Amino acid sequence: MKFNKTFDRALWVFHLNTGSCNGCDIEIVAALTPRYDVERFGLKLVGSPRHADVLLMTGPVTRAMAPRVERIYRQTPEPKVVMVIGNCGCSTGVYYESYNILGPIDKFLKNIDPDVKIIYVPGCPPRPEAIIDATAKAWLVLEGLRGDA
Amino acid sequence: MAGKSYTLPIGPVHPALKEPTMFKLTVEGEIVTAVDVQPGINHRGIEFIGMRRNPLQVLHLAERICGICSIVHQYSFALASEKAAGITEIPERAQYIRTIMAELERVHSHLLWAGVAAHELGFDTLLHWTWQLREWVQDVLEIISGNRVNYAMYIQGGVRRDISPEVIQKLKVMIADYRAGIDQLCKAFTDDRVFRHRTMGVGVLTYKDAVETCAVGPTTRGSGVHKDVRIDQPFGGYADLDLDYCLPEKMGYENNGDTYAKTLVRLQEVVQSLDIIEFCLDNMPPGPIRWESNMTKLLQHMKKAEGEALGLNEAPRGEMIHYVKLNAGDENVSIWKVRASTYNNILAWTKMLPGCQIADVSIIAAAVDPCIGCMDRVTVVDQDTGKEKLFSNEDFYRASIRKTRAYQRKVSP
């Protein structure tokens, strides 16, 4: 799906915790508050995945969250980008042996949608600067999807 | 519409919740009549993973139980495992550094809570202001440990990093900055009429209920209960301090257990933590910071050790317990059990929420400073039938009797 250039400079973000320890989540909030103030780049947290361009996901996918992750991914309108914040979302990190964790987010999402666009932000937790950097990368991905319209 | 009630499910993914949990509210009109918490969504099986790793590896797992109170989880695990392994001579300097780190975390956690509470009331200016103040303590934590959230400071028998004289200077500057700014912040909470209206008399946890539900930490101190591990069973650097319980009455308010009282407790504790850090910096003795600086030797000692112990600690949210059992010859931790403070405090919801309006649910739920990552448990489900089973006190009692009988048969054939 293509979209025009007015769209991708104001990314609306939905934050989904798929079973993280809170560390990445407080860094996301820290990125929104005055020291880092990511809203000056047009980024905004929204309350519903149906309003979002970007899904911010933190944490490995726990068994109970798996069907919800799939539902929320499908609810987000195209085109969309997934930003995986933190080591445990990228690779399950320190929790790799657990019985209740189905795996990292990318493995899970690629089963649902083979064309999923994922931006990895490793770190335990990543610094707010890294999250801002990842946002710039999300712009580039979305620019690549831009049509002629 | 009298008597007609509805169930209002909130979660597991909800804009008001930062963590996946689920609660079902039974409402009659605008009034909440009952609440049912259904946790288990954020369960990551950390205790299970921990029993497959050695005590030094579990230190890093322990701090990833929760990203906000990561220090106290590591502290409690270190306390429990060194007690179990019989390591008693922890250098005094290490004890002071441990105390400083734990108190720095309390400052950041309480400021975080204050911001979230303001946000829950729609007071976003105050959220941004408190979080801006919180960055000062984050800076200091980063200078000491190199990371903003998970600090990896503790190890069995001491700490991993020393605090240098330059960092002590930076800490003193931070304390002075906070002392100048905290009064203004307190006033923003206590003098604001809207904040007072929204929190006074809202979400009351009476003294009796606080004792009955075994609430811990600021939740229970807001109701006037004298409970604080740092004072009741002092450990580490706290033993040298003369601390007093932070109660709302010290700021001229009743100990009535409402949300305003809990806010006052947390604001006082920020100042108390600054006092503790200052005391520790002024009286920090020189000397080594570890009982054994060679990791291999330490691991060998832990491998040979046999024993079990409890590690008690006062997290920003209240009392926290880690139980550790080590078996000789087994490199891994044999048994590890964590009881985080939110596990107790979540019960207080069942007393605080009924009778309130739906609009007050979020601030009352936030008042106990819930941390789902710390407390999540699972329900046992039979795979063949799909039936859920909850273990009640009676079930545990029966299981206990069965076990005794089985032993009796074994011992006396």
Residue A75, chain B, CB below 8 Å: the answer is: no
**Across the interface, do B44 and A30 touch by the CB < 8 Å criterion?**
no
Contacts 24+ apart (CB under 8 A), B362-365: B362/B16, B362/B120, B363/B117, B363/B120, B363/B121, B363/B198, B363/B199, B363/B202, B363/B203, B363/B259, B364/B202, B364/B203, B364/B259, B365/B23
Give the pLDDT of residue B382. 60
A136: pLDDT confidence band, cut at 50, 70 and 90?
A: confident
Residue A31, chain B, CB below 8 Å: the answer is: no
**Statement: residue B380 has pLDDT above 60:** no
**Statement: residue B30 has pLDDT above 50:** yes
Nearest Cα neighbor of B313 from B338, B336, B330 is B338
Lowest pLDDT segment from B297-311, B316-330, B342-356, B394-408: B394-408
B378: pLDDT confidence band, cut at 50, 70 and 90?
A: low
Q: What confidence tens digit (pLDDT) does each residue in B81-136 have? A: 999 999 988 999 999 999 999 999 999 999 999 998 888 888 888 999 999 999 99
Residues making up chain A, counted from first to last: 149
Judged by DSSP in three states, B311 sits in strand
Give the pLDDT of residue B178. 92
Q: Which domain holds residue B341?
A: 46-375
Q: CA–CA separation, B375 vs B21, rounded Å?
A: 11
Q: CA–CA separation, B276 vs B270, rounded Å?
A: 10
Residues in B closer than 8 angstroms to A127, CB to CB, are 148
Residue A17 is nearest to which of B18, B129, B138, comparing CB atoms? Answer: B18
**Statement: residue B398 has pLDDT above 90:** no
Say yes or no: B150 and B205 in one domain.
yes
Answer whether residue A41 is part of any domain.
yes
Give the pLDDT of residue A149. 45
Q: Which domain holds residue A123?
A: 12-129+137-144
Q: Which residues contact B223 (CB under 8 A, 6 or more apart)?
A: B205, B206, B207, B209, B210, B215, B255, B256, B257, B261
Tokens of B120: 């829950």
Residue B149, chain A, CB below 8 Å: the answer is: yes
Answer whether residue A96 is part of any domain.
yes
Give the pLDDT of residue B323. 93
Q: CA–CA separation, A139 vs B10, rounded Å?
A: 33
CB A38, CB A32: distance < 8 Å? yes
Q: What confidence tens digit (pLDDT) does each residue in B299-343 have? A: 999 999 999 999 999 999 889 899 999 998 888 999 998 988 888
Mean pLDDT of A52-59: 89
Q: CA–CA separation, A75 vs A73, rounded Å?
A: 5
Looking at per-residue pLDDT, the higher value among A83 and B360 belongs to A83
Answer whether residue B397 is part of any domain.
yes
Q: Give me the CATH number covering residue B57.
A: 1.10.645.10
Residue A23 is nearest to which of B127, B128, B150, comparing CB atoms? Answer: B150
Residue A18, chain B, CB below 8 Å: the answer is: yes
CA R_g for chain B: 22
- % of chain B residues with pLDDT over 90: 35
In Å, how far is B77's CA from the nearest CA of chain A? 17
Residue B320, chain A, CB below 8 Å: the answer is: no
Return the sign of the alpha-carbon dihedral for residues B121, A19, B344, B106: negative
Sequential DSSP letters for B234-298: --GGGGGS------GGGGT-----SHHHHHHHHHHHHHHHHHHHHHHHHTPPPS-SBS---HHHH
**Statement: residue B359 has pLDDT above 70:** yes
Helix pair angle (B55-63, B70-84), 10° resolution:
160
Residue B36 dihedral angles phi and psi, to the nearest 5°: -130, 120
Residue A89, chain B, CB below 8 Å: the answer is: no
Taking chain A, what is the end-to-end CA distance rounded to the nearest angstrom?
A: 12
Give the pLDDT of residue B98. 92
Mean pLDDT of B243-269: 90
Residues in A closer than 8 angstroms to B133, CB to CB, are none
Say yes or no: B303 and B405 in one domain.
no
Say yes or no: B252 and B276 in one domain.
yes
Identify the residue among A14, A22, A94 best suited for mutation to test binding to B, counting B beta carbons within 10 A and taking the highest: A22
B345: pLDDT confidence band, cut at 50, 70 and 90?
A: confident
Residue B43 is nearest to which of A22, A47, A62, comparing CB atoms? Answer: A62
Residue A101, chain B, CB below 8 Å: the answer is: yes
Residue A22 is nearest to which of B13, B148, B371, comparing CB atoms? Answer: B371
In Å, how far is B106's CA from the nearest CA of chain A? 15
> How many CB atoms lie under 10 A from the CB of residue A39?
13
B390: pLDDT confidence band, cut at 50, 70 and 90?
A: low
Mean pLDDT of A94-107: 87
Answer whether residue A3 is part of any domain.
no
Q: Give me the CATH number covering residue A37.
A: 3.40.50.12280
Mean pLDDT of B44-68: 89
Answer whether residue A25 is part of any domain.
yes
Residues in A closer than 8 angstroms to B70, CB to CB, are 21, 23
Judged by DSSP in three states, A118 sits in strand
Say yes or no: B316 and B339 in one domain.
yes
Say yes or no: B175 and B263 in one domain.
yes
Give the pLDDT of residue B409. 78
Q: CA–CA separation, B186 vs A106, rounded Å?
A: 44
Taking chain B, what is the end-to-end CA distance rounded to the nearest angstrom?
A: 66
A and B: number of Cβ contacts within 8 A: 121
With residue A120 as reference, give the H or E element that holds it. strand A118-121
Residues in A closer than 8 angstroms to B146, CB to CB, are none
Lowest pLDDT segment from B30-44, B94-108, B257-271: B30-44
CB A120, CB A91: distance < 8 Å? no
Residues in A closer than 8 angstroms to B131, CB to CB, are 29-30, 33-35
Residue A64, chain B, CB below 8 Å: the answer is: yes
Q: CA–CA separation, B127 vs B117, rounded Å?
A: 8
B1: pLDDT confidence band, cut at 50, 70 and 90?
A: very low
How many CA atoms within 13 Å lie on the side-chain side of B313? Answer: 31
Answer whether residue A68 is part of any domain.
yes
Q: CA–CA separation, B30 vs B367, rounded Å?
A: 20
Say how many domains are in chain B: 2
Looking at per-residue pLDDT, the higher value among A15 and A4 belongs to A15
Return the sign of the alpha-carbon dihedral for residues B53, B58, B61, B65: positive
B383: pLDDT confidence band, cut at 50, 70 and 90?
A: low
Mean pLDDT of B350-361: 84
CB B215, CB B205: distance < 8 Å? yes
Give the pLDDT of residue A3. 59
Q: CA–CA separation, B158 vs A133, rounded Å?
A: 37
Buried b (16+ CB within 10 A) or exposed e, B17-34: bbbbbbbebebeeeebee
Answer whether residue B18 is part of any domain.
no
CB B113, CB B218: distance < 8 Å? no
Nearest Cα neighbor of A62 from A89, A102, A93, A97 is A102
Residue A26 is nearest to which of B45, B46, B149, comparing CB atoms? Answer: B149
**Across the interface, do B64 and A23 touch by the CB < 8 Å criterion?**
yes
Residues making up chain B, counted from first to last: 413
Tokens of B214: 């075994």
Residue A21 is nearest to which of B43, B64, B131, comparing CB atoms? Answer: B64
Average predicted confidence (pLDDT) for chain B:
86
Answer whether residue B14 is part of any domain.
no
Give the pLDDT of residue B282. 92
Say yes or no: B230 and B267 in one domain.
yes
Identify the residue among B18, B44, B58, B377 best suited for mutation to test binding to A, counting A beta carbons within 10 A and taking the highest: B44
In Å, how far is B260's CA from the nearest CA of chain A? 24
Nearest Cα neighbor of B64 from B80, B42, B81 is B42
Nearest Cα neighbor of B229 from B92, B64, B106 is B106
CB B111, CB B131: distance < 8 Å? yes
**Statement: residue B78 has pLDDT above 90:** yes
Say yes or no: B192 and B281 in one domain.
yes
B384: pLDDT confidence band, cut at 50, 70 and 90?
A: low
Answer whether residue A2 is part of any domain.
no
Answer whether residue A4 is part of any domain.
no
B 44-103 residues inside an 8 A Cβ radius of A = 44-46, 48-49, 52, 60-61, 64-68, 70
B278: pLDDT confidence band, cut at 50, 70 and 90?
A: very high
pTM of the model: 0.88
Say how many domains are in chain A: 1
Q: How many distinct helices (H) and strands (E) make up chain B?
A: 16, 10
Judged by DSSP in three states, B353 sits in coil
Residue A125 is nearest to which of B15, B67, B131, comparing CB atoms? Answer: B67
**Statement: residue A70 has pLDDT above 50:** yes
Give the pLDDT of residue B88. 87
**Across the interface, do A17 and B45 touch by the CB < 8 Å criterion?**
no
Answer whether residue B2 is part of any domain.
no
**Across the interface, do B67 and A22 touch by the CB < 8 Å criterion?**
yes
Give the pLDDT of residue B175. 94
**Statement: residue A51 has pLDDT above 50:** yes
Answer whether residue B4 is part of any domain.
no
**Across the interface, do B44 and A18 touch by the CB < 8 Å criterion?**
no
Closest residue in A to B127 (Cα–Cα): A33
Answer whether residue A149 is part of any domain.
no
Average predicted confidence (pLDDT) for chain A:
85
Say yes or no: B402 and B268 in one domain.
no
Q: Calculate ∠ Cα B262-B97-B299, nearest 5°.
A: 115
B358: pLDDT confidence band, cut at 50, 70 and 90?
A: confident
Residues in A closer than 8 angstroms to B60, CB to CB, are 94
Mean pLDDT of B254-281: 91
Give the pLDDT of residue A1. 53
Say yes or no: B75 and B136 in one domain.
yes
**Statement: residue B270 has pLDDT above 90:** yes
Answer whether residue B242 is part of any domain.
yes
Residue B157 Ramachandran class (φ > 0 left, ψ -120 to 50 alpha, else beta)? left
Residue A57 dihedral angles phi and psi, to the nearest 5°: -115, 135
